[in-house]
Amino acid sequence: MAGGGGGPDRELDQTPTWAVAGVCFTIIVISIALEKIIHLVGHWFQRRKKAGLLEALEIVKAELMVLGFISLILTFAQQHIAQLCIPVSYANTMLPCPYHKSEDHSGGGGKGGGGGGGHRRLLWYEQERRILAAGSMGAGCSKGKVPLISINGLHQLHIFIFFLAVFHVVYGAITMTLGRLKIREWKKWEREAVNDQDFNDPTKFRLTHETSFVRDHTKSWTKTKFTFYFVSFFRQFFRSVRRADFLTMRHGFVSVHLAPGSKFDFQKYIKRSLEDDFKVVVGISPLLWTTMTLFLLLNVHGWEAMFVLSMLPLVIILAVGTKLQGIITQMAIEIQERHAVVQGIPLVQVTDKHFWFSWPELVLYLIHFVLFQNAFEITYFFWIWVKTTKPKCLL
């Protein structure tokens, strides 16, 4: 490209051998180091018998392989893609930023320009025009046609896809860490459930409305659907899992799956369940790749696609939190309706009918979608500010 001041680009046979060898050596060392780190982490998971995290690591390795294929395809096909030409009229449709013609900025003052109001816009337009002109000449397009995507545009897309996958994995790992920290807070409740014999006394009879679990979730606001979901919505922000909730859920699980009096570490079971769920949310499914391409298609100036996309994860995660709070309350109501007196801790019965469409896995898939969309928005935000000449029009 013009303006570099260093002469034409050199081919490989005109490049110093120390430069070629140094770059190759650095890339190889980084790649081998990454492979060894992943291998060691896998062995550590295997020794600790963390099957869920080991499978999640395999999914991460598969995602790295997909990224490798994407990188190879973009690298070898960029020249051919840039040689595909389309009419200018098509190239000026569905633009992320408004298109500016040269006569709109010439200002009647010749090349020197007029006032300073349009100076910044003129510089941006000149830079964009040079890039497009360079791409057109490189592709050999005829008059009235431009490349489908310039080489510079393919390079930016390449970087965007790479960082999207990296941010998604990192974002999922952070969520996993926060979940484990939350579970750690329940350790004292687990010790209480195992060691406090008076608390677990099966001979103790109580009225259902006297138990902490039923009393906390069967107030007057559960009488109507509106107040039921309204209170459930706000409850997710204030200690979503309480002591009575944890102990009751634990008792229900142990009563169904284990013999009475069994010593069972329910908190450890929750940790393993969290690890099993992590292998679902860490990967990027074909559906999620499709949502990314759909947004890139609809990211047209004036359509406010970015605003809708930024609101969608928030709405989904608040709906999921409200639903989970509603499920806990619904189980408390069912206990009160079934029994007037309970023996020991109330026995909850969790069924698929409590979830949307009787499909519990849907909640996990929605969380997976939210994690991906959040990673997409973070990547997109930093990408447009670093790699584009006019970022504000893309927000």
Residue 314 lies in a domain: yes
Q: Is 267 part of a structural domain of the chain?
A: yes
Of 393, 388, 210, whose CA–CA distance to 305 is shortest?
393
d(CA 39, CA 201): 49
- Secondary structure of 369-382 in HEC code, one letter for each residue: HHHHHHHHHHHHHH
Distance CA 189, CA 389 (A): 55
pLDDT tens, residue by residue, 219-258: 777 778 888 888 888 888 887 788 888 888 887 787 777 7
Q: Span 326-340, mean pLDDT?
A: 78
Residue 328 lies in a domain: yes
Alpha carbon distance 47, 168 (integer Å) = 26
The predicted pLDDT at position 261 comes to 62
Task: Domain of residue 315: give its range.
Answer: 174-394
φ, ψ (nearest 5 deg) of residue 350: -90, 125
Let me know if residue 244 belongs to a domain: yes
From 21-25, 251-255, 363-367, 385-389, the region with the lowest mean pLDDT:
385-389
Out of 21-35, 242-256, 351-365, pick the least confident: 242-256
Is 120 part of any domain?
no
The widest CA-to-CA distance across the chain, in whole angstroms, is 96
pLDDT class of 8 with cuts at 50, 70, 90 = low
* Mean predicted lDDT score pLDDT of the chain: 76
161 within a domain of the structure (yes/no): no
Query: Hey, which residues does 85 pair with through a beta bridge?
Result: 147
Q: How far apart are CA 354 and CA 341, in angstroms?
A: 24
At 140, which amino acid appears? Answer: G
Torsion-angle region of 304 (φ positive above 0: left; ψ -120 to 50: alpha; else: beta): left
Helix (H) or strand (E) run with residue 12 in it: none
Stretch 183-212: mean pLDDT: 67
Report the sign of the C-alpha dihedral through residues 30, 34, 36, 40, in that order: positive
In a domain, 222, yes or no: yes
| Average pLDDT value for residue range 293-307 | 82
Closest CA relative to residue 346, chosen from 197, 206, 243? 206
Instruction: Report if residue 82 sits inside a domain.
Output: no
Q: Does position 117 have pLDDT exceeding 50, yes or no?
A: no
pLDDT value, residue 201: 55
Sign of CA dihedral 101, 106, 110, 116: negative
Number of domains in the chain: 1
End-to-end CA distance of the chain: 29
